[in-house]
Amino acid sequence: MDYTINYHMSETTYRLTRTSMALDGWTIHALDELSERLHTSKAEVIRRAVREMKERSDREANAPKPLEALDWLQGGGGLAADEAASYRSAMVAERNAKKYWWEA
């Protein structure tokens, strides 16, 4: 038996599937509280939580490993040598322009 429900809102059709789950008391209380605070359904609170966790998990999975990040930084961090020299000279000039006469 298919428990899929199609909702049509504005120009988008959302396909929702009914499911059941067992939740402990604290989670049910937190779900009720969030639902009231956000003025939305409990199902929407769960959808948002799952979406946020999935996005966070994807970011963590795609983040470079510590040694990869170190190699990238030691390799210039994506900045070419001539760009780095240009940036460095611009920063030195800016700092020198802000010095008082007694610091020169």
pLDDT tens-digit readout, 55-95? 999 999 999 999 999 998 888 888 888 888 899 999 999 98
Close Cβ partners of 79 (under 8 Å, ≥ 6 residues apart): 87
pLDDT over 90 (residue 17): no
Q: 54 falls in which pLDDT band (50, 70, 90)?
A: very high
Taking alpha carbons only, the member of 40, 53, 43 closest to residue 23 is: 43
Report d(CA 86, CA 10) in Å as an integer.
Answer: 52
Q: Alpha helices of 12-80 — where are they, by DSSP H? A: 25-38, 42-62, 66-74
pTM of the model: 0.57
Residues 25 and 33 sit within 8 Å (Cβ to Cβ): no
